[in-house]
Structure formats: C-alpha cells, structure tokens
Amino acid sequence: MTISETWLLPDGVADVLPEQAQVVETLRRAALDFLAVRGYQLVYTPFIEYIESLSSLSESNQDLDLVTFKVIDQLSGRLLGVRADMTPQVARIDAHVRPIEGVARYCYAGTVLHTKPQNFNATRAPLQLGAELYGHDSIEADVEMIDVMLALIEHTHTLDGAHLDLGHVGLFRSLVKRAGLNKNTENQLSDLYQRKALPELEEFTKDLAMGADFYALGRYASDLDALQTHLSQDILNDIDFKNAFDALKSTLTQIQSRWSNLNIGIDVIELRSYHYHTGLMYAIYAPNRAAPLAQGGRYDGIGEHFGRARPATGFSCDLYALGATQFVEIETIVAPKGSEQDLLKAIADARLNGLRVVQLLGNDDLSSVPYATHQMVSQNGQWVIEKI
C-alpha cells in the first residue's frame, strides 16, 4: 500500500468525528444511567474470547458464527473469536462467573465486530448497547423488557412516528413439529415467510402436511383474529401453539395499555434469528428506516453451554445508528492567552458551568481554532463571552 493510501479504512469501518462522537457519548451515558435506575447492572466484557465460549449461540445460530472474526492466539495456539454480539458473554457471566439465584438484570455498552455489515449501509463495528434479564420465563419479564426498550428509545431518541413489531417463533416452530416436517422443508418455509412471498407460499404448501395452516400463518400474519379464524382446530388445540398464541395476545394487550399512543403491529412470520430465539420477538422501527432502532426477544436456555440453562430475554441497539440523524453543534469558547488571575478565574468558572473553553497559545489568534463559536473578551474590567 502506498503512503497516500495508508489513511484509508476497511469497508464498513469508519472514524467517529467530534460532532457525532458527542452525540453518541451523550446517548451512551443517558442510556446507561436510565438502565441503572431500572435495576440493570452494568458489566464490561472482553473484546476477544476463546471461540468455544462465544459458540454458546453459534451452535444454534449459524448466522452469528458467520459474522464472527476468528484469529489464532499467539500465547496458547487456540482459536479466538472477536465478539460479534455481547449476549453470549453476558450469558457466561450469569451462568458461571456470577451465578446468583433469582432474577439477574444486566446492561452493557461496547464495540462489537462483524465480518460483514448486518444491514444496508451499516457499520461492521457497531457500538452495541443492550439490557438482559435472566431467571424468569413469564410474560411479565418479556413485557418489562419491551417496556424498558421503548422507554429507553423515548428517553434518548424519540418515539414520534415509531412502530413496534411483535412476533413469536413458537407459532411456526410448533406448527413445524405438529406437521412433522424435515429440516430442509422447514428452512424453505422460513425463507418464503421472510420474503413475504405469498404466491410462492401458496404453491409450496398445496401438498404439504397441514399446508393450509402454514399458508394461513403467512396470509394472516398481521391479524391474530383472522389468523385464529383460518387455522385448523388441530393446530389450535396444540398446547405449544396455544401457549405461544396466548402469550403474543397477552403481550400485545399489556403493551397497548402502557403505550396507548404507539403504533403496534403483529408479524408472526418475522423469523429473524429464528434458531436463536425461543419465544417472543420484538423490534422498534422509526419512519423511513429499514433497520430497527432496537430489537430483542426471548432466548431461554442460553446458559446451557456453560452448565446453567436459564430463561432469558433482552434487547440491544447500535448507538451509532441511534444517533445517526442527530447533530449537535459543539460550542467552543476561545479565551485569550495570558496568566492574569481574573482571566484564569473566568476560564475556570466557565468550565465549571459545563462550557468548553480553549485558551490560545503563544502567538496564536482565533484562526488557530477553526471550530470556535464564541470568544472571551474583556469589557469594563469583566470577562464576557461573545458569539463569533
């Protein structure tokens, strides 16, 4: 690489410049403070671990394994993974490092690394912030996580025009089990659902066991009443399907009562990370944005890899994406050079009030601080701040 190219960064990786860094850091602090008062305890996890530790999810979620960078440890010769998601690490803490009894609530914020961008125009190094609840398998735990997620977005961003999507992988999973489908057919159906390909779905399910139910699941994915009307009594009597259906309806009712002004939709065939999630799934979207602001769901048994399977639910978001449309002008006050006590006190007082003050050096003038917005000048023996 020539000298002229050494400043270039890999695709999907970018510097965060002062204005955006200010936004992101403000979001991070506000979010972690918000989660703290909700009882979520902050944890820091290592950027890199033995791949076996990170594989607690990748065994059931090949997508996560594919986006995990892997390197050889020069000390041990073992394979290491750079974290692509912090949930496996928090699961390890809950199961092995800090195995407390009862409910555990954790939150985190840190950079993760992906081999490929996960969404259009997304970074490969998101600043992931999330919250997770371990040790409770009730609907109330899922409702708490959704409520915390929505309140966090409202606190740090905005819910104006936002849309919440709710789903439950148990509907599709129990129908697949009831019909006795093989893995290949299951994957084909999942792909059709993900693409919302109704004509193809109708053709594919014609000769399929319980095909009418599979088609109804796709055709009426956003209307629980219509879906219930068009499903066979056979699947409606299935205990696993019934539990998932009732859980989804109950969650919808409870979230509507808490967030009456929020636009809430149902999508029972939104099967992102299908093999990873075990129950309710949820995502919050902003207008004119394809990727969610935040998303999460239930992933029971995640700690089994570490010897302690526990029910779990949680959500995460990318702070870079969350703050992408927010801009803040960084006001910078330039003070003249000098060591007079009144000048130094004026600078100190301004900084104590949270103002950003830069004092000139040597023979510098205002042109040496191109991002300056204000200056400190002496008027009638007093130091005052003027807009440039």
pLDDT tier, 59 (very low <50, low <70, confident <90, very high otherwise): very low
**Three-state secondary structure string covering 331-364:** CEEEECCCCCHHHHHHHHHHHHCCCEEEECCCCC
**Has residue 337 got a pLDDT over 80?**
yes
> Distance between CA 262 and CA 148 in Å, rounded?
14
Asked whether this chain's domains 11-157+291-328 and 163-285 adopt the same fold, the reply is yes
Q: Is 86 annotated as a binding residue?
A: yes
Q: Is 87 annotated as a binding residue?
A: yes
The percentage of the chain sitting over the pLDDT mark of 70, rounded to a whole number, equals: 96
**Has residue 212 got a pLDDT over 50?**
yes
Comparing 7-11, 74-78, 195-199, 361-365, the range with the smallest average pLDDT is: 7-11
Q: Is 229 annotated as a binding residue?
A: no
386, β-bridge pairs: 375
pLDDT tens profile 117-168: 887 778 899 999 999 999 999 999 999 999 999 999 999 988 999 999 999 9
Q: Is 145 annotated as a binding residue?
A: no
Q: Is 132 annotated as a binding residue?
A: yes
> Distance between CA 318 and CA 27 in Å, rounded?
11
Q: Domain 163-285 belongs to what topology? A: BirA Bifunctional Protein; domain 2 (3.30.930)
Bridge pairing between strands 48-50 and 332-335 = unpaired
**Has residue 28 got a pLDDT over 70?**
yes
Whether pTM > 0.75 for this model: the answer is yes
Taking alpha carbons only, the member of 94, 241, 71, 124 closest to residue 172 is: 241
- CATH of the domain spanning 11-157+291-328, picked from 3.40.50.12280, 3.40.50.970, 3.40.50.2000, 3.30.930.10: 3.30.930.10
Q: Is 207 annotated as a binding residue?
A: no
pLDDT tens profile 252-295: 999 999 999 999 999 999 887 767 789 999 999 999 888 899 99
Domain ranges in the chain?
Answer: 11-157+291-328, 163-285, 332-387
pLDDT reported for residue 326: 80
